[in-house]
Amino acid sequence: MLYAAWKLAAAVALRILVPVVLIFLSAIATARAQALPNATAAVTPNIVSPNIAVSSSFDADSLGNLSTYLDSTFAPFDSIYESGMRFRATGDASWYRFLASDDPRTLARGHSLEGGLLAGYGVSLSGFRITGLIGPVLGTNAYPGVTTNRLGAKAVLEMYAKPTDWTMASGSISYSTTTNQLQVQGKAGLRIAGDFYFGPEAKFKWKDILPWQVDFAPMSVTPVSPQTNIANMYIGAHISTVKVGPLMIGVSAGWANDRQLGSGFYGSAGIYIPF
């Protein structure tokens, strides 16, 4: 029942993201733009005092990894661009490939679904913002023949800065105990026109997949796969921010590497809506 609910939530998220990406592809043909820092590091838009912001991102690579993310952040007492308390509802889903057997070389697929409610505090200074959040999350991990449901915690730290009128930098780090996933991302940008920035980005994802095999006589626990975790590195470029009505849309692309599966390429798109 829980698995079916999370699967439905992921399908709804994808239905939202696909038309947004299509809108972006038509808009970019007529406008030069710049990519939003990802869903966990928002750009300051030209809105006076929004209390709520919704952000989402979609990532995929040629190695068989795919993820989608959606969150809503609420500032109960002030603008989300001022210092104060923050509350965030989050949901994400990811699908990935890993090495199931060395001889013969066989690949398998797994996926994870997660949702939670975080609370924290944001500090906003001139040209600099940092936000930290932590809270409970519920997740499902599915491997071939193994499905586990876990209740755990997630922590997020985000930063956005404009050192000068012509430069920007953003970074984020998050870790979830339910899906055993760590993600670190950093971006830098140079303003090329208006509020548009272009520059490099780097992202690292680590996930402990570890499908277990339990033997009771004698008692032992052994991994059923030669690959017990996934480590992905992404290095590329981003453009930030394309405005389509109230939406701010961003893209990035570049080189992807998996420790077991080799190298390929990736692409990502994100949206940010303050109101």
User: Which domains occur in the chain, in start order?
Assistant: 2-274 (2.40.160)
Q: What is the pLDDT of residue 225?
A: 55
Q: Is the pLDDT of residue 18 over 90?
A: no
Q: What is the pLDDT of residue 146?
A: 79
Q: Is the pLDDT of residue 168 over 80?
A: yes
pLDDT tens, position by position, 30-84: 333 333 334 334 344 444 578 999 999 999 999 999 999 999 999 999 899 899 9
Q: What is the pLDDT of residue 228?
A: 72
Mean pLDDT in residue range 3-17: 42
Q: What are phi and psi of 29, to 5 degrees?
A: -70, -20
Q: Which of 141, 36, 152 is nearest to 96 (CA)?
A: 141
Q: Is the pLDDT of residue 254 over 80?
A: yes
Q: Which of 128-137, 138-147, 161-170 has the lowest mean pLDDT?
A: 138-147
d(CA 116, CA 182): 16
> pLDDT band at residue 154, thresholds of 50, 70 and 90?
very high
> pLDDT band at residue 7, thresholds of 50, 70 and 90?
very low
pTM of the prediction?
0.76
d(CA 112, CA 60): 15
Q: Which of 6-15, 90-99, 155-164 has the lowest mean pLDDT?
A: 6-15
Q: What is the pLDDT of residue 219?
A: 53
d(CA 207, CA 197): 31
Q: What is the pLDDT of residue 15?
A: 46
Q: Is the pLDDT of residue 106 over 90?
A: no
